Structure 1
Amino acid sequence: MSRRRIGFWYRFAAVLCKPPLVVLIKRDWRGMEHIPAEGGFITAVNHNSHADPFAYAHYQYNTGRVPRFLAKSGLFKKGFVGAAMRGTGQIPVYRESTDALSAFRAAIDAVERGECVAFYPEGTLTRDPDGWPMTAKTGAARVALQTKCPVIPIAQWGANELLPPYAKKPNLLPRKTHHVLAGPPVDLTRFYGKEMTPELLKEATEVIMAAITRQLEEIRGEKAPDTPYDPRRERIEQRRQTQAQTQPGRSTVREGESST
């Protein structure tokens, strides 16, 4: 099979979701020519709003190549939502279980069948205070190197202005614009044929995220930070500061001991 048919469930979801999206959001969509017409591929997309999966799915639906998203397994168990997730062929992610790797196997199978799998490499909403892409997980790179499929970097901005991260209520007025810019495939050929060590996967992931970030810079007309926000580093620094505040005497003794 060279490409996945849109199918009943995707068309039904489009009937439900497209009208409110058209009303709520203006569109500045570019780069659709980079979406492959045939064959399996990956899209790697930044994530800055709980609304952007719907806005981005609208963009890609209009290219004729519907995406299969990796989504929390719990969503597949919830009545109509679960039926829609299963019917549209989304891929469940079982976190912290023996089935955790099944999502990557399913993604590889989908790509090899000629489908598109959409990755949010960051794994969650960006924690960067200014909305720039943060450090990412290596799942997209792993699937890309396993299948040698095209990886299309896609930046988006605007859904976060409609529904800011972790906000409970949308900002409906004035009407927001959803900007999307898809770029040419990321060149990962230098990683092909090598052992997929954690270091190699991390480097390939950084190449993918750098491409997404460059496109977001073009959309926003701004320069991103030189170093992506790293939530793990931030947590370590916060723990260090907390320990320094709660155990100042102990810290001083250690410093004195190490200097003798």
Structure 2
Amino acid sequence: MPRRRIGFWYRFAAVICKPPLVVLLRRDWRGMEHIPAEGGFITAVNHNSHIDPFAYAHFQYNTGRVPRFLAKSGLFKKGFVGAAMRGTGQIPVYRESTDALSAFRAAIDAVNRGECVAFYPEGTLTRDPDGWPMTAKTGAARVALQTKCPVIPVAQWGCNELLPPYAKKPHLLPRKTHRVLAGPPVDLSRFYDREMTADLLKEATEVIMAAITAQLEEIRGEKAPETPYDPRRERIEQRRRTQAQTERGGQEPGRPVRSAQSPKSVQEEGLGT
């Protein structure tokens, strides 16, 4: 299967985006040899800053295999941004509509055409207090098992030091380093040709996330928590703590945990950004 040409819009976006990225971030990029030279594939990437999609796209652009990201449909509608999103072949996610699963179908079609689709399996910025990957959605695993394409696990670190999750102002000095480590394809062959149940998809997703986490451990030089942070479990625990505090006399409850904002049907597939 031939590779997709980079095209005018991707080259134009690179001309605009690369100079500020080069100025703001040093680069420590490893594992480019694991990005397939031909054929369709998935990259599964951890997400810890609002700017890491641009920095990661820079990394993969330099491999010659440009990624197609899944992004909110509103970004495709107007002006220059919309033209760039359409021109670079990004995949719109239609939240809260009957077209919510069209992104899933588009991702499968793109892989089957020999393109790369980049997934953030967590579905949103990690909420782990220390920036480790949290529990993930099953969309990347579903596309991988349906297409039997290679899944390249990618860990990145550094953009979160420039712009921490949910922060409004960047920390420009000292200059930060964007570290990327792409690994060999995750072996999902034991899941092929089996009924695609929720448990099977969950297990395959955990295998993908374990590979990403192991690579992030190598980048950071430290061990990740044994159990990934689970926002759903944390929300349950937060409600229990709040109820217990109320029963003890109406004490001030703890700070609520952010919850994902996409509807369950899309969020569970991990198709949002």
- TM-score interval for Structure 1 and Structure 2 normalised by the shorter chain: over 0.9
Structure-to-structure mapping, 1:198-237, within 5 angstroms: 198-237=198-237
Residue 149 of structure 2 corresponds to: 149
2:117 aligns with 117
Match of 2:66 in 1: 66
Change (3 A) 1:166 1:78: farther
Q: Secondary structure at the match of 2:44?
A: strand
Letter in 2 for 1:130: D
Q: Deviations over 1:19-73 (max 9, x none)?
A: 1111110000000000000000000000000010000000000000000001111
Q: Matched residue of 1:39: which SS? A: coil
Is 1:96 matched with 2:92?
A: no
Letter in 2 for 1:199: D
Deviation at 1:156, TM superposition (A): 0.2
Shift of 1:106: 0.1
Q: 2:2 and 2:122 mapped to 1: Cα distance?
A: 28
Give TM-score scaled by structure 1 length.
0.94
Aligned to 1:180: 180
Q: Which residue does 1:128 correspond to in 2?
A: 128
Larger CA Rg, structure 1 vs 2: 1
Please list every run of at least 4 consecutive aligned residues from structure 1 whose deviation after the TM superposition is greater than 4 angstroms.
Answer: none
My pick for the range that moved more, 205-214 or 72-81, is 72-81
Q: Tell me how far 1:81 sits from its aligned partner.
A: 0.7
Partner SS state of residue 27, structure 1: strand
Q: Write the letter of the residue equivalent to 2:173.
A: L
Structure 2 gaps, min length 5: 250-273
Q: How far did residue 248 of structure 1 move?
A: 5.0
**Structure-1 separation of matches of 2:244 and 2:76:** 44
Tell me which residue corresponds to 1:258. none
Q: Normalising by structure 2, report the TM-score.
A: 0.90
Secondary structure, in 3 states, of the residue corresponding to 2:36? Answer: coil
Match of 2:87 in 1: 87
CA distance in 2, matches of 1:213, 1:75: 30
- 1:41 aligns with 41
Cα distance between partner residues in 2 of 1:233 and 1:156 = 25
Q: What's 1:171 paired with?
A: 171
2:88 counterpart of 1:76: no
Q: Percent identity of the aligned residues?
A: 92
CA deviation vs aligned residue, 1:167-187 (integer Å, no higher than 9, x gap): 111111111000000000000
Report the AA paired with residue 155 of structure 1: A
Query: 2:190 aligns to what?
Result: 190
Counterpart check, 1:12 vs 2:12? yes
Write the distance in 2 (CA, Å) between the matches of 1:183 and 1:198. 26
Q: C-alpha distance in 1, partners of 2:137/2:76? A: 23
Segments of structure 1 that go 5 or more residues without pairing to the other structure are 250-260
What CA distance in whole angstroms lies between the structure 2 residues aligned with 1:216 and 1:51? 18
**1: CA distance, partners of 2:97 / 2:231:** 23
Q: Output the amino acid matched with 2:96.
A: E
